[in-house]
Structure 1
Amino acid sequence: MESILTNAFDAFNKYSGWIVWNLFLAFIPLALSFWLFIRSSKRRSPLWWLGLLVFIAFLPNAAYLLTDIIHLIEAIRAGYSIWITTLIFIPLHLFAILIGWEAYVISLINQSYYLEQQGAKKFVFTGEILVHALCAVGIYLGRFLRFNSWDFVTQPHVILTSTVNDLTAKKPLLVILITFFVLTVFYGLMKQITLGVFWRIRSGK
């Protein structure tokens, strides 16, 4: 039993240690979305705009968890016992990916709600598409170029140069376009599910 627990702990550290940190990063834009779009007044102070910039910078972290499926694949291929794979790797990774993605969806739902409250309902879809596009670029920068959200502050010139160079190359642009498509489709599906759950909770059914 002790050997199994030791193997499980080692396996978690090697293939699942990212979960807590990545979920923390995913919940930053979620928390900000409630402050910016739900509890915020109609007045947009300099602090509000600063919060919006932080929200945009960190939002790709929530959608980024979709790409962490590669860690699950690596863990399965590592040859651990069927018990560790089925009882730890699969449920833990899928749970983290789902929670991170839901944080992304709710953040955008809050953004859409804010636009509607501001009388800009016609810009809701445009706002969602714009966010998907920015997040697709952000996910590429994080997954392939290994940039972090705070690099926008610490080395913005490097990010700008890398982004411009990659957007003019065929392969990176293709990856970004595919990511954008996945985000758009998955968001559309999960948005309806989430709104349906919210409606049932509110109606008490």
Structure 2
Amino acid sequence: MKTLNHWYLHLFLILLSLSTIGVYFLFKNQTYYEFLLWNLFLAWIPYILAVIAHFIHTRKSMILKKFILIVVGLAWLLFLPNSPYVITDFIHLTILKDSYVQKGALSFTYWYDFFIIFLFAWNGLLLGCSSMYIIQKIWKERFNHFVSWLIIALTALLSGYGILLGREYRLNSWDALLNNGILEILRETLHQEAFVFCLLVGFVIMTVYITFYVLVNGIGSSRNSSAYTNEKTRR
């Protein structure tokens, strides 16, 4: 498992988000989609928490290090669903579908909004995958490779559940601490359709993350490439 170059990653994600926001303001023609800016902000929170967790993890001497790491880790888990949640914002294209039809065909505005949402969703997925990778590296170093993957798989399922609570029950991450009726709402989610939803969304999140993981760690062998280069040179 390769170590990420955090400074390059920070810079890349910041530039990507700023570019996305710039494109949004360039093409927006209504205020309806302003919630995308808020959702992108929420998508950044788990990434920032993961970076904080990594900083704490790398400190050799720190008072209450394990306790602080656990608190930050739980906060990260609580906010993580906000990153992939942006994918579900495509539903607003369906909600507004009638307003996009002109003379029996979709207007260009529909496609502008479609790709704007895609950019925000792409940002959210990259932020989520980056934070999951950082957290997995911490777990791998503290325990082992198998445990780190087990935790990531469980995290993906819990993120699916978080998206269910956010999209269907309109809960925010902080409602887990501030909403007095949270237990009653959680009981309402105990049915088959909710379970299938969590499995499907968790599988999607896990698939995207594994793709990210494979791309970061490489799917080719630099050793074979070097051998091929040397053989070609000898010829």
Q: Give the alignment's TM-score, normalised by structure 2.
A: 0.70
Match of 1:165 in 2: 188
Distance 1:193 1:80 in 2: 39
Task: Identify unmatched segments of 5+ residues in structure 1.
Answer: 1-7, 198-205
The one-letter code matched in structure 2 to 1:187 is Y
Q: How far does the alpha carbon of each residue in 1:66-102 deviate from its partner, in whole angstroms, 9 at most, with x for none?
A: 211212444555226734333x312211100000011
Question: Deviation at 1:19?
Answer: 1.0
Number of matched pairs: 186
The 3-state SS of whatever aligns with 2:81 is: helix
Aligned to 1:202: none
1:152 aligns with 2:176: yes
Q: Which residue of 2 aligns with 1:107?
A: 131
Is 1:117 matched with 2:156? no
For residue 209 of structure 2, give the secondary structure of its aligned residue in structure 1: helix
| CA deviation vs aligned residue, 1:10-66 (integer Å, no higher than 9, x gap) | 43x11x211110010010000111110255326634333222221111001001112
Q: Partner of 2:206 in structure 1? A: 184
Go from structure 1 to structure 2 and tell me whether the alpha carbon gap of 1:174 and 1:119 turns closer, same or farther (over 3 Å shift): closer
The structure having more radius of gyration, on CA atoms, is 2
CA contact (8 A) 1:38 1:114 kept: no
C-alpha spacing 1:162/1:63, structure 2 compared with 1 (3 Å): same
**How far did 1:9 drift?**
4.6
Query: Greater helix share, 1 or 2?
Result: 1
d(CA) in 1 for partners of 2:109, 2:119: 16
Aligned letter for 1:181? F
Alpha carbons 2:157, 2:203 under 8 Å: kept:
no
Aligned residue for 2:208, secondary structure, equals helix
Q: C-alpha distance in 1, partners of 2:161/2:194? A: 9
Determine which of 81, 95, 108 is the counterpart of 2:119: 95
Unaligned runs of 5+ in 2: 1-26, 220-235
Moved over 4 A (4+): 194-197
Q: SS in structure 2 opposite 1:174? A: helix
Choose which of 67, 70, 73 in structure 2 pairs with 1:52. Answer: 73
Pick closer, same or farther for the CA change 1:193–1:47 going to 2, 3 Å.
Answer: same
Residue 119 to residue 173, structure 1, CA distance change in 2 (3 Å): closer
- Aligned-residue CA RMSD in angstroms? 2.5
Query: What whole-Å deviation, never above 9, does each CA across 1:113-144 have from its counterpart, x for those lacking one?
Result: 11222242221110111101111111100000
